[in-house]
Amino acid sequence: MALQAQAAPNVQVLDGNITVSEVIAAQKGWCQGLLKISAAYASGGFAKAKSTAETVIDQGYAYQYGPVAFRPTLASGSQTFRATRAGALAYFVGGDPAFPNDKGFALKPWRSCEAINQVIQLSGSYATSMGNVSFKNADGKTTTVDKTWAFMKESDGSIRIVLHHSSLPFEG
């Protein structure tokens, strides 16, 4: 499993509470979580993947504080936005009748994940990053998406996602 993230060429620092290295670590953690869900599915099936995904979501996202602005790549119509933990879980592993179009993005045989930043903005306990995330599957095929994240730093130092927007690049 290859996990990488690169610093952005443009960094705007408005306050130094959350750091660039913490943002990059959170991005690597997100990639690692996705790969863990994929591996859990391959080794233990849906139940193991779902349990792993619940842990990944609870550790990485801020749903315990309220809605998260989550717009996953392969979502559309009335299910485009996932403000709830249940919506995020359905996107990652599928199997929720309330989200019948979800097939489980994290269940694919992902082998690597890399965040490539173009911009990171730091402001107090919040940070925003924008760039791409590239995924490689078991066949060696790479999929790259445009990704924007906003992170918040909690008083205990943990970093959680409060905004996650992902889309396929425009192919005019």
* Rounded Cα distance, 42 and 36, in Å: 10
pLDDT, tens digit, 9 for 90 and up, residues 87-135 = 999 999 999 999 999 999 999 999 999 999 999 999 999 999 999 999 9
Domain residue spans of the chain: 2-167
Q: Is the confidence at residue 3, as pLDDT, over 90?
A: no
Q: Is the confidence at residue 162, as pLDDT, over 80?
A: yes
* Rounded Cα distance, 74 and 166, in Å: 9
Residue bearing the bigger pLDDT, 87 or 16: 87
Q: What is the CATH number of domain 2-167?
A: 3.10.450.50
Average pLDDT, the chain: 92
Average pLDDT rounded to a whole number, residues 147-162: 94
**For the chain, how long is the longest CA-to-CA vector?**
45
- Orientation of helix 20-60 relative to helix 85-93, angle to 10°: 90
91, 111 Cβ separation under 8 angstroms: no
Q: Check residue 142 and give left, alpha or beta (phi > 0: left; psi -120 to 50: alpha).
A: beta
Average pLDDT rounded to a whole number, residues 160-164: 98
